[in-house]
């Protein structure tokens, strides 16, 4: 299996703050058991899904080159995905919500390269390669769906999240890691579940990120398409869950028409979904997405947008009516009686940009301790500063190198030496620099000469507010990696021996004439040393030509699922696959 990672234009365009999440796939780490899990799920999917999935699924499997027989490599997937304009990268489990969305905006499929344990073969809350490669990849071969996926990523990357969302992300990531780790104790699992349940019970107002996360869940992950009476599956969570893809088609799961109301419907990743939403077609997904985008601070701005950024405690951006964009962690705003923002402030590293390009000399090295500025119109002056020509500025004594004093309608006063101004290519003034400057409001000093050069943003109002940086180059570490790291499983000697048996059988299956005696010896070891394993026995049954051995295996499997009822459907379904 090729281990290299070829590149393509999508991957080359990724900003540094996204590249930090990419990790090697390490294909050699997949055990023979992992390969058997992949093969079982894919064979089951190919057998069952064509009758219940969207028509794009099977054709998409062919286009994306995903094999039934073995776990796909990133190298192979990228080579084929490039033909349909997409790419794939391996990451370490759940990544921050905005980062996940931004990858999609760049048409890059984020794939958690780990694979679920055999005991979680039907479903796992942790993202894994079955979910990502076998669930997401095939459907993006449909151009209408692919554009929706890109667009929801583009909008989602700008959605403002709350501090609560940060806590939820960390709690979900930790629980998903513990559920897939062999070494997890019952106490650790209970503690992680308690933290998540406690957060879920808080019932806080949904942030923009929480709303678009819900929209993403009920479409990209758990979406149905068609009619309420005859829905088809297109959501990756359903396509990759051999248990829930069957359950969702029963009358026990309520089917609802897909509307904007889906943004308010929350979910529990650890349980089967009690209801699902059905869209008539992929085009309608875009219609609802645009309806949601129109409600976001990205398009509305104002004090509500700035308030969301302050509450998020993350790097965000406001855009002023002049087009000037300020990025940083916003910490304060002052409003007038009409709830208009008359002053704002960031703390820590900040940057200024225009049309997503950082202004030269106005990056985080220049604003290490934050940025602040008043907004609005000048007192007793009908013309806003942003609309003033050089002649107008002189009429109001705005001369370079001269000390000036002026007051905004809000009562904020500015006094200092006018150093220079920065204009756009079309002549619009967006920034005025002062030295020896004092900015006051009522009895409060907002900026003093000791603070250095005062760069005053020019703008009447905030027209947009969104998460992240205006210029992605401004903040190399825009998204912080989680402190909860994936647990590398320590394998027991017994598990290593079982893996070797799976590996031996895999080699036997690849031969044209399987050695029947070896098959019998393998089964002897299963019966004697691994009496709870079922998948290897099914694989043995698949290639055995001995009626005697086949009878032994079937008797063993029946006794196993009678002893462990939770295995019955897996074993029975596996035997039906052999009959097909």
pLDDT in tens, 242-266: 888 999 999 999 999 999 999 999 8
Q: What integer pLDDT is reported at residue 565 of this predicted model?
A: 92
Of 235, 261, 290, the residue that ends a domain is: 290
Q: Looking at the domain assignment, is residue 474 inside a domain? A: no
| pLDDT mean over 158-178 | 88
The answer on 278 and 196 residing in a single domain is: yes
Q: Which residues pair with 432 in a beta bridge?
A: 421, 456
Residue whose entry in the numeric block shows the structure tokens 């994306």: 64
The answer on 144 and 107 residing in a single domain is: yes
The answer on 133 and 33 residing in a single domain is: yes
CATH classification of the domain holding 359: 2.30.30.100
Who has greater pLDDT, 561 or 241?
Answer: 561
| pLDDT mean over 149-165 | 95
3-state helix, strand, coil in the chain (%, to 5): 45, 20, 35
The answer on 386 and 527 residing in a single domain is: no
The answer on 448 and 412 residing in a single domain is: yes
Q: Looking at the domain assignment, is residue 320 inside a domain? A: yes
Q: What integer pLDDT is reported at residue 359 of this predicted model?
A: 97
Report whether pLDDT(481) > 80: no
Domain that holds residue 310: 298-467
Quick check: pTM over 0.85?
Answer: yes
Mean pLDDT of the chain: 90
Q: Looking at the domain assignment, is residue 487 inside a domain? A: no
Cα–Cα distance between 83 and 359 in angstroms, integer? 37
The answer on 371 and 324 residing in a single domain is: yes
The answer on 551 and 428 residing in a single domain is: no
Beta strands in 113-265 (DSSP E): 224-226, 231-233, 254-257
Q: Looking at the domain assignment, is residue 3 inside a domain? A: no
Per-residue pLDDT band at 336 (split at 50, 70, 90): very high
Who has greater pLDDT, 154 or 484?
Answer: 154
The answer on 412 and 305 residing in a single domain is: yes
**Lowest-confidence pick of 81-90, 115-124, 216-225:** 115-124
Q: Is 62 exposed, middle or buried, given 0-12, 13-18 or 19+ CB atoms closer than 10 A?
A: exposed
Q: Looking at the domain assignment, is residue 51 inside a domain? A: yes
The answer on 226 and 113 residing in a single domain is: yes
Report whether pLDDT(136) > 90: no
| pLDDT mean over 121-142 | 81
Report whether pLDDT(540) > 70: yes
The answer on 393 and 507 residing in a single domain is: no
Q: Above pLDDT 90, what percent of the chain?
A: 59
Q: Looking at the domain assignment, is residue 1 inside a domain? A: no
Cα–Cα distance between 460 and 66 in angstroms, integer? 54
The answer on 314 and 278 residing in a single domain is: no
Report whether pLDDT(409) > 80: yes
Q: Looking at the domain assignment, is residue 18 inside a domain? A: yes
CATH classification of the domain holding 214: 1.10.800.10
Report whether pLDDT(548) > 80: yes
| pLDDT mean over 341-352 | 97
pLDDT, one tens digit per residue, over 23-72 is 888 899 999 999 999 999 989 888 888 899 999 988 888 787 788 899 98
The answer on 523 and 430 residing in a single domain is: no
Number of structural domains (the chain) is 3
């Amino acid at each position: 299996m090729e281990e290299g990672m070829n590149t393509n234009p999508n991957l080359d365009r990724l900003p540094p703050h996204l590249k930090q999440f990419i990790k090697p796939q390490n294909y050699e780490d997949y055990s023979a058991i992992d390969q058997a899990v992949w093969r079982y799920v894919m064979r089951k999917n190919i057998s069952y899904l064509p009758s219940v999935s969207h028509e794009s699924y099977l054709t998409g499997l062919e286009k994306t080159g995903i094999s039934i027989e073995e776990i796909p490599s990133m190298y192979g997937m990228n080579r084929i995905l490039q033909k349909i304009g997409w790419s794939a990268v391996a990451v370490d489990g759940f990544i921050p919500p905005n980062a996940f969305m931004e990858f999609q905006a760049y048409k890059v499929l984020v794939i958690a390269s780990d694979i679920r344990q055999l005991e979680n073969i039907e479903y796992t809350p942790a993202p894994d390669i079955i979910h990502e490669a076998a669930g997401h990849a095939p459907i993006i071969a449909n151009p209408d769906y692919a554009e929706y996926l890109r667009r929801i990523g583009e909008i989602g990357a700008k959605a403002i999240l709350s501090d609560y969302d940060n806590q939820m992300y960390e709690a979900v990531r930790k629980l998903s890691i513990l559920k897939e780790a062999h070494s997890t104790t019952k106490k650790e699992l209970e503690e992680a579940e308690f933290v998540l349940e406690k957060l879920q019970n808080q019932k806080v107002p949904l942030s923009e990120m929480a709303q678009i996360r819900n929209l993403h869940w009920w479409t990209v992950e758990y979406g149905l398409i068609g009619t309420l009476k005859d829905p088809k599956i297109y959501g990756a969570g359903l396509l990759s869950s051999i248990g829930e893809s069957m359950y969702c088609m029963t009358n026990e799961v309520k089917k609802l028409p897909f509307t904007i109301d889906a943004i308010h419907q929350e979910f529990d990743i650890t349980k089967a979904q009690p209801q699902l939403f059905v869209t008539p077609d992929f085009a309608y997904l875009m219609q609802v997405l645009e309806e949601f985008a129109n409600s976001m601070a990205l398009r509305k701005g104002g004090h509500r947008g700035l308030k969301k950024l302050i509450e998020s405690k993350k790097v965000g951006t406001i855009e002023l009516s002049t087009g000037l964009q300020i990025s940083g962690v916003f910490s304060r705003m002052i409003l007038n009686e009409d709830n208009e923002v008359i002053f704002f402030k960031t703390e820590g590293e900040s940057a200024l940009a225009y049309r997503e390009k950082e202004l030269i000399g106005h990056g985080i090295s220049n604003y290490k301790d934050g940025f602040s500025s008043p907004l609005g119109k000048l007192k007793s002056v009908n013309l806003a500063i942003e609309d003033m020509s050089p002649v107008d500025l002189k009429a109001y004594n705005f001369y370079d190198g001269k000390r000036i004093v002026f007051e905004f309608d809000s009562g904020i006063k500015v006094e200092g030496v006018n150093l220079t101004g920065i204009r756009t290519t079309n002549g619009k003034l967006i920034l005025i620099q002062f030295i020896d400057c004092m900015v006051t409001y009522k009895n409060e000093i907002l900026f003093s000469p000791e603070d250095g050069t005062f760069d005053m943003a020019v703008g009447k109002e905030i027209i947009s507010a969104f998460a992240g940086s205006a210029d992605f180059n401004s903040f190399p570490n825009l998204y912080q990696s989680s402190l909860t790291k994936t647990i590398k499983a320590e394998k027991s000697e017994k598990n290593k021996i079982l893996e070797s048996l799976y590996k031996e059988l895999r080699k036997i299956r690849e031969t044209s004439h399987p050695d029947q005696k070896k098959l019998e010896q393998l089964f002897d070891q299963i019966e004697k040393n691994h009496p709870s394993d079922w998948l290897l026995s099914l694989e043995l049954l698949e290639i055995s030509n001995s009626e005697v051995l086949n009878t032994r295996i079937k008797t063993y499997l029946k006794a196993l699922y009678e002893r462990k009822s939770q295995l019955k459907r897996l074993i029975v379904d596996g035997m039906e696959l052999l009959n097909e």
